[in-house]
Structure 1
Amino acid sequence: MDSIPEEWKSLFPISSVFKPPLLLSNPSILGPLFFNPKPNTTTLLFSSPSLLPPLTPLPHLSLPRFLLTSSPESAPLPSTSSSIASFLGPHHYKTDLLSFFGNRLEFLHCPLTNAVLIFFPTGENSVQVGFLELVLKGSTFDVKFDDLTVRCRFKYRILRISVNPVPCLSNLRGNGPVTVGYLLASTMYSVHWFIVKVGDFGSNSDRVSLVYVGGRVFKTCCVVHACWSPHVLEESVVLLENGALFLFDLESRLKSHYSDAYFKGTRLKVLWDNDGSGSSGNYRWLSCEFSWHPRVLIIARSDAIFLVDLRFDECNLTCLMKIEMLQMYVPVEKEQFLVLSKTSSDSFHFVLASDHLLLLCDVRKPLMPLLQWAHGLDKPSYADVFRLSELRSYAKDDTYKWPSDSGFCIILGSFWNCEFNIFSYGPSLPTPIGSVASKITELRKPFYAWELPSDLLLSGHECHCGYCLVREEFQKDALPEWIDWQHKKEIVLGFGIVNKDLSSLLSEPDEFGGFTLIRLMSSGKLELQRYCASWDSVKNVEESHRELLHFKDYLLYSPEHEEYRFVRRFKYLELDYLYGYLNGNLDEVLDSKMKRSCKVGQGNELFSPEFHEILCKKLHECGFGQLRSSPAITIVLNDISLPSSIHEVVLRRLWSDLPMELLQLAFSNYPEILEVLVDQKRVALEFSAVPDLSQLPPFILRRPRKPSCRSNKWSKKVQPGDALVGPVLPLPLLLTLHEFRNGCPNSEEQSGQFSVEEELSRSCDEVMQVVSEMAVSNSDPEVPDDQATSLANDGEEKWGNSQRSKPFFSYQPVAAKGSSIDHRQGKSLYKDDKFDTLISKVSEKKQTSNDINDSVGLELFDDLCPVKLRFDACPMKFEAKELKEYNILKKQFLEWQNQFDLYKDLSSRIESKADK
């Protein structure tokens, strides 16, 4: 690397190549360059929800994906979710969403005082500017505020605040208010300007106020960035998303004494068509900064950086950096510039960060960076440059004074990702005065990276040991896909570094120096933390390592300015049975409940004989005697009135398998159901009435049911009915009780516990086996197993080997996309066959239309579709007039059937296979 020419050494990024030529590592001269939080120095200054942002970020999922993943049990079909999304417009969220999460705190040090002003967006939807005054008192700051917010409210949310301090003034304690700085607040479509004044406001001579000067709304374009001029303090520049630049002069507006709040400004004539970057147009504008002259600007775009010289009549554009220049170490087709910041040393240097690289550049050397680092951060959105003397101030040891006065530190990172690194750089090591090397250094003055980048634990209480990092990553992966872990963890939303003069008054001097940082946490706390320079980075923070790492709820809710005016009442429900079922230990919960003493006295009849007779009669009508065994699957299938899933068939069979004692628990009437105590009042629960038609339990999976006639408060006029209602207990609970009653024969051998899910899965396998023998499938038949036998009763016919037509057919719903081969293969919408396989009865062939008599009944509809239709018993006959209308409708319906390929294919397969 030493043989490489000097102008080429900067092309090798630090942390990306072996032995980079511009890396200096000499701790004995440079001193410590790690900055760690000092233990037991965290001080809470203030806490309020007004400091927090009002809204959470948009979800990372597209709307169709969100509809499918937010509720797996009831997710809509893909075609349905896509059609819903199409009506709601485009759903491609901007990739620069993290740019909204910039530094929420902006500091302004009042000259000749020990006070710091902190500005931040606040109010409902962050449409107001808020501020706090921190006054040094003893070894900490005292927070002073009359009102957190300024009365001015804007139409749009404030995204960025920038201040421009006024130099030290000798008449700060004189008569009249004194201007200590200027402030601008930019929203998505507007920019607003303020003057920060101190003093001479009534009896309080030190009161701070914000005086609104005016604003400018851009109706056709969004505001990208706005900045103050370091040369002419009253001037500022605004950059729009189309590349337009506007110059605003605060001094000229104050002299003109405008009465309205509209600030016109001057549009700068910049022609971007001849920028010389060779861009294809796929870019976005990032930010703007003033360079070494009041009319020389640095404009950042995602694909290039420009120097705009407006000193003459015609604008002169110079391309300072192109994204194509980084192609040696990064994939240029995916690389973009993300953030730009000006250095504090002079107006010629600036730092630039892309997706993978951090660059130090000079406007006097276009297309040639001075230094490069591979930063390894995920989409950084914040960058700032500090002198090393600010970060290593107030030190006991004066050994490293030269590197502290000569070096610089770049803090780069992202608030949303909670990752910040420090990149130190400076001139080469000092050489003997008068030597040739010293003379060359004075002429060229190259910059070198000082040591490798280091982490900055901005929150001050995070443990970065390997054990905690791995455990935290596992917890992040365990969260649902649409929940950001930042909502569940306390993160830093903004920070500022106190100047070294005030920092020296806050704490005792450190051995190698340090700095004082004020940060805003997502819990609404404003904290002060002391950092000290050290030789090694602290990975294990004892205070955080001892605590159990877990995510809390920091959802960054919007502050509520109005108190809730209604009475808050909380109702608690005991869901121990549901909790036990979800955890797979329902049997344990039920066993513990059964062991407790029953409060009902012995000998009390819980069920009346009349109710017992009604339930027995309904079951007898379905083919079950009083001494019945487990119902055959074919009997359950014959009870199908509408297409049903395998899971529904299994539920009917399990319900019908329950003994009469348990069915008496599941079905009852209102006089026998205990009322529930709610708000110190007895309230009756509501259940569905059991239909009069002969059906298998639970009577809720097929025909429409009548709602029960009841009221929360019975009266003399309205009395509870005697109708049979239910089920009043869920099936998992009844199955577990049935298992206890039989001595737990179906419990798992290894654990000795009964699993309802295992019982459901076992029954589904049995039903699937019988369905494969008795039903025609719309999918291609599989090769039958010679050893397979029917699980139906021995006395039933073997439908798999019979020549009779099969009475059922099964099919799987598929999306109406793709080829017919895909549909015939039965590509499922879901992942479980017990839900996506539907079974129904095959309609019996009826007489043709020529044999129809003059008067027919509801059986006329049997030949319209392969599904057997079953109507409620009602005497209905069609006369000649009705038959005429029926034939017209049938003709139209047949035309639709012939045009619907999926239906025609399914009907032909059923007819051809049912007769085999």
Structure 2
Amino acid sequence: MELSDEWKAYFPIGKSLDPPLLLSSSSSSCWLGPLLFIPKPKTHPKTLFSSPLIFPPLLPPPPRLSFSRFLSTSSVPYSTSFSIASRFGPYHDVDASSLLSHNCLHLLHCPDQNIALVFFTTGSNHDRIGFLAIHVQDNDFKILGDRNGDVFVSNNYFNHKILRILLNPVDDFEGISGDSVVGYLMACTLYAVHWYSVRIDKSSKTPSLDYLGCKLFKSSSIVSACCSPHLPEESLVLLENGALFLFDIESDVNCQKSNGYFKGSKLKVLLDDSSGSENYKWLGIEFSWHPRIFIVARSDAVFLVDFRLDKCNVICLAKVEMLSPYVVGEEDQFLAFSRAGADGFQFVLASHSLLVLCDVRKPMMPLLRWAHNLDNPCYIDVFMLSELRSQSRDDRYQGSTESGFCIILGSFWNCEFRLFCYGPSSACEGSIGMGISKFCKPFLAWDLPSDLLLSSQECHCGSCLVREEFSKGALPEWVDWQHKKDIVLGFGILNRDLSELVCESDEFGGFTLIRLMSSGRIEAQRYCASWDFVQKLDVSHREPLLNFEDSLLYSLGDDEYEFPKKFKYLNLDYLRGYLFGNLTKVLDSKMKKSCKAPLEKESFSLDFHEILCEKLKVCGFGRFRSSSALAIVFNDISLPTSIYEVTSRQMWATLPLELLLLAFSGYSELLDVPFDDKTMPLEFSVVPGLPQLPPFLLRKPSCRSTKWSHKVQPDDSLVGPVLPLPVLLTLHEFRNGCPDSEKTCEFSSEVELGLRCDEVMRAAAEKAIQDSSLLNNDQAISLADDRDEMWVDSQRSKPFLLYQPVGGIRSVQDIKKAVLKVARTL
């Protein structure tokens, strides 16, 4: 059945099988070209500038406790806290991700000067504008700052946090004293908008900001603002109550009084809300194809507002209901909105589940739909493909490069961004087809969406993704992992004219990314178009992805700590040596240092030796010393156990008593160990007098340990092991005559454990019953006679069932997971 373009658009790319509007790379690679963008191999990000002034810490986010929960956890009685919370009505949690809902870095290009200006917020409360200039010197990017080598800072500060910055370039014209006005800047706080003109001195190429004026809104807060692509002096502001204001900077500057306040024009808009829903919020505003036609987005609908005539004309362009039936929940809403293309006809919307491309000439009929699979995206922007595939040595894909578009959707808080490419079909590549496409725009999705890694330190292989998720989960629930990681807060793409002065051309083209990091660095990174997305970085695989160190994302406040600070440090040399595989070197150096010290008196008595031997024999550790047969270890198995537990038990049992004397101790000896009373107590397991399950080596430590009082005195219990098994194995290697460092480097306790596991595995495979049919009738026993001691004096060996995981590659970890179980039959 042949479907129209309107019906084809109902099948989202990524949710439906073989969507009709998807142009896959396999069938069209001959003319589409590569649509994946990765950091250029064998290149490293270049730090252009680094200073705490670039991005000072944000104020700490609100606690993750509701108002009623906060009161109930305080010293206020429950009844009182409940009554106080009820008086304030429902409490809405403030989402910490709203702190980073906008791009924090903005670029303004000056083509005739070969300069790019970088703007960002600065100041203790992010209430001032900071900026730098990027220029080329000696075939490299250089940063131009103030006279002191620091960032330029605006003279005005607003005592309120700047939430967003907007830039609007203009055609160069002469200003005062030979300056050139290259653009206008809008700085929006919660209730005010401030305008600047951006100037560059032609002789010194020094940028400056001239304050023009502001507008203060008292009735409602600011939701969105935009600059006009038609008239650089005009801009729009959308308030939370739905009010629209149009500003003309040139006329306002000429008519303003000495107070510097702009009045603007309030536009009378009557939006017909036929849905009757009140649970919406205003989202954004953009200019359309005409200077007096605007697109206003709401969380549930999008409207076209036409002011060309005296009477305002409103048309509904999109509703959230049109996303059905491909929504995640029952109630979806639009989250992000942006203008698309240079003609002003297209715009893009992102909801919780879908990304849609719409046209003002086709209300309620999206051109394309994608399933974005992102968590609460808040940033959206559209670029021409020619901006991302510039400086290409291969001109085979020039047609698709000039006609394609790319949507970047994501979230700075979640550090996730995806790239959605679209453009005309291959049939429109002819002159007639291109002429028709200017009117009807038969857009197709070019290949499936791909991830865009804004940081070159990220790696999306399976191992790194799993390791990163486990690192996040290890943090307490009240700590955001964004506070611990150096994340990207904003980015911009450098124009081709400035980039080609430094970067060489790529085979399929690329772009230069300027990014702002939460650590206060501005970096430049070259990206290139590639057919393959997976680029395994050696640095990512050698070191953890998340080095959990406190970043400068949040401010810890200016209050000084009232109490004296005391720090306790733990020596983890042995643990570090074990983790990095050089435990033998650490022990060798420690033993050489200890040999130079005077010998201490013998601390082990004959009584302690006899008690230790007796208890270890009761626990099953003594019988192995009289026999070298490994099969004896299986007689102690009564419950399902892993090969690793059996191997550990056998290795403990085969250690000489001289080393076991080092591994166990009594409470009386622990009291002689010097330790600080304010430190954590030493916790060890008590060696039982009778066999226990699970074995005492796997049981929880004692609750008393070294914390004794004069009322409760320590007993004669034996505790241990106080030294871990890898240390004892390494000491055993030293005892066997391998003291020199060169030879001990070849020994690894982990390798030794793997060899022992293989040995136990082979012995277990010989004794394990592979099929229940192999059991003879005379070997069948009853569950009523299920007693472990019946096998002690039996001449027959225990029957076992061996289970080994089959998924993945067989390794030491797989052997450790193998489970050995005594076979029982009815």
The alignment's TM-score, normalised by the length of structure 1, stands at: 0.61
Identify the match of residue 46 of structure 1 among 32, 39, 49. Answer: 49
Distance 2:421 2:11 in 1: 17
Measured in 2, the distance between the counterparts of 1:335 and 1:193 equals: 36
**CA shift in 2, pair 1:751/1:224, >3 Å:** same
Equivalence for 1:783: none
CA contact (8 A) 2:114 2:497 kept: no
1:433-448 superposed matches below 5 A: 444-448=440-444
Is the aligned partner of 1:382 residue 2:386? no
The residue that corresponds to 1:498 in the other structure is 494
The 3-state SS of whatever aligns with 1:8 is helix
Q: Aligned partner of 2:344: which letter?
A: S
CA distance in 2, matches of 1:79, 1:110: 64
User: Which residue identity is paired with 1:409?
Assistant: C
What is the alpha-carbon distance in structure 2 between the residues aligned to residue 136 and residue 328 of structure 1? 52
Superposed CA offset, 1:564-599 (max 9, x none): 99999964446899xx9xxxxxxxxxxx9xxx9999
Q: Is the 1:468–1:549 contact (alpha carbons within 8 Å) kept by the matching residues of 2?
A: yes
Q: Conserved in 1, the CA contact under 8 Å of 2:100 and 2:489?
A: no
Match of 2:280, SS state, is: coil
Instruction: Answer yes or no: is 1:5 the counterpart of 2:7.
Output: no
Query: Which residue of 2 is the match for residue 535 of structure 1?
Result: 531
Match of 1:345 among 342, 346, 351: 342
1:326 corresponds to 2:323: yes
**CA spacing shift, 1:68–1:556, aligned 2, 3 Å:** farther
How far apart, in 2, do the equivalents of 1:47 and 1:434 lie?
50
- 1:97 CA drift (Å): 4.7
Structure index of larger Rg:
1
Q: Say if 2:232 is the partner of 1:228.
A: no
Structure 1 residues 645-695: Cα deviation after superposition (integer angstroms, max 9, x where no partner): xxxxxxxxxxxxxxxx99xx99xxxxxxx9x9xxxxxxxxxxxxxxxxxxx
Matched residue SS, 2:539: helix
**Structure 1 residues 7, 77: CA separation in 2 closer, same or farther (over 3 Å shift)?**
same
Equivalent runs, 1:234-633 vs 2, <5 Å: 234-256=233-255, 258-272=257-271, 274-276=272-274, 278-331=275-328, 333-430=330-427, 444-557=440-553, 571-573=566-568
Aligned to 1:125: 125
Q: How much has 1:441 moved relative to structure 2?
A: 5.5
Question: Against the structure 1 CA distance between its residues 504 and 759, is the aligned structure 2 distance closer, same or farther, given a 3 Å change threshold?
Answer: closer
Whole-angstrom CA distance in 1 between matches of 2:294 and 2:353? 25
Contact 1:160 1:187 in 2 (8 A): yes
| Distance apart, 1:140 and its partner CA | 2.5
Secondary structure, counterpart of 1:220 in structure 2: coil
Question: For 1:712-770, what per-residue CA distance to the aligned partner results, in whole angstroms no more than 9, with x for missing partners?
Answer: xxxxxxxxxxxxxxxx899967x989x89x9999999532999332899xxxxxxxxxx
Distance 1:566 1:432, change over 3 A: closer
| CA deviation string 1:860-905 (max 9, x = no partner) | xxxxxxxxxxxxxxxxxxxxxxxxxxxxxxxxxxxxxxxxxxxxxx
Deviates more, 1:490-499 or 1:534-543: 534-543
* Residue 901 (structure 1) aligns with: none
Structure 1 Cα separation of the partners of residues 353 and 95 of structure 2: 16
In the alignment, the residues of structure 1 paired with residue 75 and residue 158 of structure 2 have an alpha-carbon distance, to the nearest angstrom, of 40
When residues 96 and 247 of structure 1 are mapped into structure 2, their CA distance, relative to the original with a 3 A threshold, is farther
CA change 1:226–1:431 in 2 (3 A) is: closer
**2:160 is the counterpart of 1:164:** no
Over residues 207-237 of structure 1, what are the superposed CA-to-partner deviations in whole Å (9 max), with x where a residue is unaligned?
Answer: 2111111111212211101111111111111
Once the two structures are TM-superposed, the CA of residue 63 in structure 1 deviates from its matched residue by 4.1
* Aligned CA distance change for structure 1 residues 555 and 287 (closer, same or farther; 3 Å): same
What is the one-letter code of the residue matched to 1:398? D
Asked if the contact 1:358–1:375 (Cα under 8 Å) also holds between the matched residues in 2, the reply is yes
1:26-37 correspondence to structure 2 within 5 Å: 26-37=28-39
The Cα of 1:294 is off from its aligned counterpart by 1.2
In the alignment, the residues of structure 2 paired with residue 267 and residue 179 of structure 1 have an alpha-carbon distance, to the nearest angstrom, of 28
Match in the other structure for 1:867: none
What are the within-5 Å matches in structure 2 for residues 187-198 of structure 1?
187-198=189-200
Shift of residue 541, structure 1, vs aligned partner: 2.5
The residue aligned with 2:818 is none
SS in 1 for 2:230: coil
How many pairs are equivalent? Answer: 612
Query: What is the CA distance between 1:138 and its match in structure 2?
Result: 3.0
State the distance in 2 between where 1:134 and 1:530 align.
15
Q: What letter corresponds to residue 110 of structure 1 in structure 2? A: C
Q: Following the alignment from structure 1 to structure 2, what is the Cα–Cα distance between the partners of residues 744 and 390?
A: 76
| Alignment match of 1:58 (pick from 47, 59, 62) | 62
User: Contact 1:55/1:556 (CA < 8 Å) preserved in 2?
Assistant: no
Quick one: which amino acid aligns to residue 115 of structure 1? Answer: I
State the shift of 1:549 in Å. 3.2
| CA distance, structure 1, for counterparts of residue 414 and residue 429 of structure 2 | 45
SS of the residue corresponding to residue 166 of structure 1 reads strand
Query: Is the 1:111–1:180 Cα contact (8 Å) retained in structure 2?
Result: no
* 3-state SS, counterpart of residue 331 of structure 2: coil
SS across alignment from 1:751 = helix
Structure-2 change in CA distance of 1:736 and 1:470 (3 Å):
closer
Instruction: Map 1:459-858; keep pairs closer than 5 Å.
Output: 459-557=455-553, 571-573=566-568, 750-751=696-697, 755-757=701-703
| Equivalent residue number for residue 209 of structure 2 | 210
CA deviation digits over 1:383-436, x for unaligned, max 9? 11111111000111111100001111111111001111111100110468588x
Q: Tell me the distance in 2 between the aligned counterparts of 1:16 and 1:426.
A: 20
Report if the CA contact (8 A) 2:101-2:379 is conserved: no
- Following superposition, the deviation at residue 522 of structure 1 comes to 1.3
- What is the CA–CA distance in structure 1 between the aligned matches of 2:333 and 2:698, rounded to whole Å? 60
Aligned to 2:23: 24
Cα distance between partner residues in 2 of 1:120 and 1:237: 21
Preserved contact between residue 192 and residue 216 of structure 2 (Cα < 8 Å): yes
Deviation by residue 1:835-863 (Cα, 9 ceiling, x = unmatched)? xxxxxxxxxxxxxxxxxxxxxxxxxxxxx
Q: 2:409 & 2:571 partners in 1: Cα distance?
A: 50
State the distance in 2 between where 1:180 and 1:121 align.
20
Instruction: Provide the residue aligned with 2:183 in structure 1.
Output: 181
Deviation at 1:455, TM superposition (A): 0.7
Q: Measured at CA, do residues 474 and 63 of structure 1 come closer, stay the same or move farther in structure 2, by a change above 3 Å?
A: farther
- Conserved 8 A contact 1:299-1:305: yes
Per the TM alignment, residue 503 of structure 1 is displaced from its structure 2 partner at its CA by 1.6
Does the 8 Å CA contact 2:350/2:356 hold for their aligned counterparts?
A: yes
Q: How much does 1:243 deviate?
A: 0.2
Q: TM-score, structure 2 length as denominator?
A: 0.67
Q: Which runs of 5+ in 2 are unaligned?
A: 576-590, 592-596, 602-666, 707-826
State the distance in 2 between where 1:736 and 1:20 align: 62
Mapped to 2, the partners of 1:560 and 1:51 lie a distance apart of 18
CA distance in 2, matches of 1:439, 1:178: 39
State the Cα deviation string for residues 814-845 of structure 1 (Å, max 9, x = none). Answer: xxxxxxxxxxxxxxxxxxxxxxxxxxxxxxxx
User: Partner letter of residue 122 of structure 1?
Assistant: T
Tell me, what secondary structure is at the counterpart of 1:49?
coil
What is the CA-CA distance between 1:535 and the residue it aligns to?
A: 0.7
CA distances 1:136-188 after superposition (whole Å, capped 9, x unpaired): 2133221111153212110310000001001245x58x952221110010011
Given that 2:320 and 2:334 are in contact with CA atoms closer than 8 Å, whether structure 1 keeps it comes out as: yes
